[in-house]
Structure 1
Amino acid sequence: MATLLVTLIVLHVLTGVFWAGSTFVLARTAGANAERLALPQFGAALLTLALGTSIWAMALSNVPAIPSIRVLGAGATCALLAAIVQGLALPAVRRLREQDPTAPRKRIAIHQRIASALLVVTVTCMALWSHI
């Protein structure tokens, strides 16, 4: 059980790093190369959320709602919102090849910037929750 939990945590962190890193890159570069990065990014987001849910179910589901668990929950909520925001930008990613890329790229950049702010809160909560 402990080995499985550690493996899940490592995979959660690795996929989360890719998700957050690609979000910050796309936000900073105004969506440059979004047509190549957005789908793997969204896949990493879904996998990160699934792994986080598994970790919670295995290790934290019986922990009472103490402040540290609430901080962790706030971070998880922000992560979920970030994934939703990025998912809403996927139609614009598909349109990049079909028309003038300026309009879809602006929409992608806005979505990535919103998601990056949410992921900053998420990462902060994940880093702090065990210290509160």
Structure 2
Amino acid sequence: MSLAFVVVAVALHVLSSLFWAGTTFALSRSGGLGLDALRRPQMAAATAAILSGIALWALLHRGGDGRAEHVLATGAAAALIAALIQFGLLRGGRALSGQRVAAGLLAVAALCMAVARYV
């Protein structure tokens, strides 16, 4: 495992996750203003966050079964459900509801990622 690869994967994961969650929170509060313009960038950021998260799990947590891994897995599940709701299940008139539900799930994911190291 190359340190440079881990650094790049962490940077990609953090930056794409920040964009995904930030735009989700903003769209939830704005009543969906800008939803059409941000749908594809959000989808790209979500994809990058999920794929880089999978890579980081494989590199840093594979085979781990401690509390930290359980907390990270909970956060990852929340993020995956958020992505399914935002981009798969809720389209059209229900898209704003999907953004609001996803905002809560992404908040859970962010909290899990932040505290996993300390549990």
TM range, smaller chain: over 0.9
Are 1:28 and 2:15 counterparts? no
Q: d(CA) in 1 for partners of 2:90 and 2:15?
A: 23
Residue deviations 1:11-52 (CA, integer Å, cap 9, x gap): 100000000000001111111111100111011101100000
Residue deviations 1:40-99 (CA, integer Å, cap 9, x gap): 101110110000001111111132x1111100100000000000000136642xxxxxxx
Q: Is the 8 A contact 1:38 1:90 kept in 2?
A: no
TM-score (norm 2): 0.94
Are 1:81 and 2:68 counterparts? no
Are 1:127 and 2:110 counterparts? no
In the alignment, what sits opposite 1:4?
Answer: 5
In the alignment, what sits opposite 1:62?
Answer: 63
Question: Which protein has the larger Cα radius of gyration, Structure 1 or Structure 2?
Answer: 1
Are 1:115 and 2:102 counterparts? yes
Question: Which ranges of structure 2 fall in alignment gaps of 5 or more residues?
Answer: none
Q: d(CA) in 2 for partners of 1:48 and 1:90?
A: 20
In the alignment, what sits opposite 1:96?
Answer: none
Which stretches of structure 1, 4 residues or longer, exceed 6 Å deviation after superposition? Answer: none
TM-score (norm 1): 0.85
Q: Is the 8 A contact 2:86 2:102 kept in 1?
A: yes
Over the aligned positions, Cα root-mean-square deviation in angstroms equals 1.2
Equivalenced residue count is 118
In the alignment, what sits opposite 1:46?
Answer: 47
Q: Is the 8 A contact 1:26 1:112 kept in 2?
A: yes
Q: d(CA) in 2 for partners of 1:109 and 1:67?
A: 34
Per the alignment, in what secondary structure is the counterpart of residue 33 of structure 2? coil
